[in-house]
Amino acid sequence: MFLSNSQDGKMIDQMKRACAIAKKDIRIYYLMGPVIIFGILAPTFLFLAFMIGRDLPVDFLIAGLLGMTIFFTSTSVAPVITPTETQTKNLERLAAAPVYITTILFGDVLASVLFGVGISFIPLLIGLAIGVTVTHPFVLVAGIVLAAFCFSAMGLIFSSNPTSATSVVMMMSSMIKFPLVFISGIFIPVGELPLWARVLASLSPLTYITDLCRYSFQSAHYYSILIDVTALVIFLVIFMTVAIKLHGRSLPKRL
């Protein structure tokens, strides 16, 4: 039997296997024209619908578009992988392989992060092309990566319902995703919202990445950088923990 140096289920071995799952996900689910186009078009049109006719600075707009793009792309495909693989019986293959459920989920998250980060370069490049300057590039890159992880983990929660019907999952995720866009300070700065709306905004992870993007472009922000980063980390931990728990419960029902 072929054995690598450490085959005993150690963390590094499982990480390599998660990377293999991510590679498979990218090949099958992400590198498709419609997926990429949807990832760009959906936030762009939503953004244009609300911004046309309003006199707002371009760096404010690009920060909102960037936040929304990371959000939409990172939550777009991850929720449909598990239901699709339940239907095609590919999930059984993974269940019979020497990988933990956490490894499978981490692989799915990793693919989603790479996709989210990759696509987020498009609004960023558009911004740079029209004269927006990035005053805090390190914060921006760190924020994009952290937010992509956070939203990808959120996407996994959408797929934890033990169904093989992707339409059910998409409907549930849309029901949560679209309202979040409106309460996260993308179209109206958080500081200009009434108190109740500011409380709601603080419950959305999208608020913090949008705030980080604004800080990176305009040096203007509502929360401190520490709060933005801490909030995103907390949301990531919560989403990942909940996703692992829910998938752990639903996986036997799928097999």
Contact residues for other proteins (CB under 8 A)?
Answer: 1-4, 7-9, 13, 16-17, 19-21, 23-24, 27-28, 88-90, 92-100, 252, 255
Q: How far apart are CB 8 and other proteins at their closest, in Å?
A: 6
Q: How far apart are CB 78 and other proteins at their closest, in Å?
A: 17
Q: Which is nearer to other proteins, 97 or 199 (CB)?
A: 97
Q: Which is nearer to other proteins, 70 or 111 (CB)?
A: 111
Q: How many helices (H) and strands (E) does the chain have?
A: 11, 0
Distances (CA, A) of 149 to 112, 163, 191, 249: 8, 24, 26, 22
- Among 159, 142, 108, 158, CA closest to 228: 142
Q: How far apart are CB 157 and other proteins at their closest, in Å?
A: 23
Q: How far apart are CB 254 and other proteins at their closest, in Å?
A: 10
Distance CA 68, CA 181 (A): 7
Q: Which is nearer to other proteins, 53 or 252 (CB)?
A: 252
Q: Which is nearer to other proteins, 93 or 219 (CB)?
A: 93
Distance CA 166, CA 62 (A): 32
Q: How far apart are CB 27 and other proteins at their closest, in Å?
A: 6
- Among 189, 206, 180, 218, CA closest to 54: 189
Helix (H) or strand (E) holding 230, with range, is helix 225-254
Q: Which is nearer to other proteins, 90 or 202 (CB)?
A: 90
Q: How far apart are CB 24 and other proteins at their closest, in Å?
A: 5
> Is residue 223 within 8 Å of residue 198, measured between CB atoms?
no
> Is residue 9 within 8 Å of residue 31, measured between CB atoms?
no
Q: How far apart are CB 101 and other proteins at their closest, in Å?
A: 11
Q: Which is nearer to other proteins, 18 or 146 (CB)?
A: 18
Q: Which is nearer to other proteins, 23 or 198 (CB)?
A: 23
> Is residue 206 within 8 Å of residue 150, measured between CB atoms?
no
CA 125 from centroid of its chain's CA atoms: 19
> Is residue 156 within 8 Å of residue 111, measured between CB atoms?
no
